Amino acid sequence: MTHSHTGRTGPVGSVYDSGPTSVQNPLPTASPVETAKILAEVELPTISKGPIIRRPRMVAAVENLGLEARAVTRMQTIAEKYGRGPIMLALPGRKMSMVLDPDHVHRILEESPEPFATAETLKRHALKHFEPQVALISHGPERARRREVNEQLLDHNHPIHRMAQQFMPAVREEAQALLEQVDTAGGSLDYSTYFKAWFRLVNRVVLGDSYRDDEQLIELMETQRARGNWAFFRPVDTDARDEIHARIDQAVSRAEPGSIAAFMNEMGTSANSETSREEDVQQIPQWLFAFDPAGMASYRGLALLASHQDRLDAARFQVDEEAQADTPMLPLLRATVLESLRLWATTPMILRETTREVEFEHGVMPEGTTVLIFAPFFHRDEKNLDFAHRFSPEVWDHERTRDEWPLVPFSAGPGLCPGRHLVLLLTSNFIAQIVGQRSIDLLSHDLEPGRLPALLNNFSLKFHLSQR
């Protein structure tokens, strides 16, 4: 029977306590042919782009071949056939499930880490290459302790970080240095130039001003993340991993004023600190990792603004209006970054793993099942979202609720990215310095406002900046 993918409401089931087991009442399973199509059209392009660090050539290939749009279409076809799901994939020796229903997205993310653990097996094997004790792949009391450290240091619940005023000089100085470099190059801005400027800012904010030009740490992180792309297929380079941790530990010890490393050092001396110094230090590689896709999102945000003059004018108005603020909020530029993440998800596959059997309306999911939430399917589903392929920053005018369609650029629930506000603070203010001082023309792509592409290759985006 074919079920509609529209207007699905009602109870979303409960954690399995009694009654039929996953053997007696299994979830529907995709046929071997359907499973092969999901693997080939949804999972393979996602993996080939690089789940931990992007592979530029593969990103270009996926963009040029239109594979991202094909992945969304495949998921729509599966959802039309199976309805609410979830469905199991026909994989010998491995339990894996695809989520098809928006209510189930909310449920799974809200019921993390029990019974939907964030410490999914493939994720653990990928991240152990540079951060084996990070909260994201921890469980139980260890996860709770490490998560609390992240939330405190990143000021999880506050749109304006408590150290924001100390960050703003670095934002202005690095943006100005970038603009001067672009002017010297005749107004040309490419992603490599932008990325280097962005990470000079990131290094200063996270580690301290003296780490501004620490390209060795960036290279170490990139090498280990590239190994992480292969998860358990590559052995861990423990020497390189230890070097990353040692360099970060040194930054925490130096505690340079105005850096989060100094905040960590101060917090570590508190009697209330329950995590070890080693555990604390291993949270920082995750931040450096996450600031990479944040740079992608902000750079793509420039492309959105350059292609929507009315939005660019409105953003400049807000920049001018908040010019005297110590820490500008810049809601439209924050929404621009969120829209960049919705339109071109930097975490396209959200992973969870069941810690016990879990009951859904149409069956029971086995313990130890990898649960896949393909974010672009929900973000770009034109059958349910009239703004699916448009730049629509207004959808972020309020905190989205459990009753709304799941737009999850930073995940959601207890696994919500603890650094989301810091990312939006830094990206919006960095962009503000660029658009506030320069005219911006997109040279490399012709973005049609009413039908934005399913993937935008940040590595090939090129702009021309000129004096306003």
* Mean pLDDT calculated for residue range 53-82: 98
pLDDT tens-digit map of 76-98: 999 999 999 999 999 999 999 99
For the domain covering 32-467, report its CATH number: 1.10.630.10
What pTM was estimated for this model as a whole? 0.94
pLDDT at 232: 83
pLDDT at 267: 85
pLDDT at 10: 37
Checking if the pLDDT of 129 tops 80, the result is yes
pLDDT at 108: 98
Residue 274 confidence class, pLDDT cut points 50, 70, 90: low
Token readout for 372 is 């896949």
Domain boundaries, the chain: 32-467
Residue 249 confidence class, pLDDT cut points 50, 70, 90: very high
7-16, 82-91, 437-446, range with the lowest pLDDT = 7-16
pLDDT at 14: 44
Checking if the pLDDT of 3 tops 50, the result is no
pLDDT at 18: 58
Q: Which residue has the higher pLDDT, 200 or 400?
A: 200
Residue 180 confidence class, pLDDT cut points 50, 70, 90: very high
Contact partners, residue 109, CB within 8 Å, separation at least 6: 116, 350, 352, 373, 406, 408, 411, 412, 413, 415, 416
Say what percent of the chain tops pLDDT 90. 91
Cβ–Cβ < 8 Å for 306, 440: yes
pLDDT at 137: 97
pLDDT at 273: 56
* Mean pLDDT calculated for residue range 107-119: 98
pLDDT tens-digit map of 197-243: 999 999 999 999 999 999 999 999 999 999 999 998 999 999 999 99
Helix/strand/coil (H/E/C) assignment for every residue in the chain: CCCCCCCCCCCCCCECCCCCCCCCCECCECCHHHHHHHHHHHHHHHHHHCCCCCCHHHHHHHHHHCHHHHHHHHHHHHHHHHCCCCEECCCCCCCEEECCCHHHHHHHHHCCCCCEECCCHHHHHHHCCCCCCCHHHCCHHHHHHHHHHHHHHCCCCCCCCCCHHHHHHHHHHHHHHHHHHHHHCCCEEEHHHHHHHHHHHHHHHHCCHHHCCCHHHHHHHHHHHHHHCCHHHCCCCHHHHHHHHHHHHHHHHHCCCCCHHHHHHHHHCCCCCCCCHHHHHCCHHHHHHHHHHHHHHHHHHHHHHHCCHHHHHHHHHHHHHCCCCCCCCCHHHHHHHHHHHHHCCCCCEEEEEECCCEEECCEEECCCCEEEEEHHHHHCCCCCCCCCCCCCHHHHCCCCCCCCCCCCECECHHHCCCCHHHHHHHHHHHHHHHHHHEEEEECCCCCCCCCCCCCCCHHHCEEEEEEC
pLDDT tens-digit map of 253-262: 999 999 999 9
* Mean pLDDT calculated for residue range 408-428: 97
Q: Which amino acid is at 183?
A: D
Residue 268 confidence class, pLDDT cut points 50, 70, 90: confident
What mean pLDDT, rounded, does the chain reach?
A: 94
State yes or no: 417 annotated in a binding site.
Answer: yes
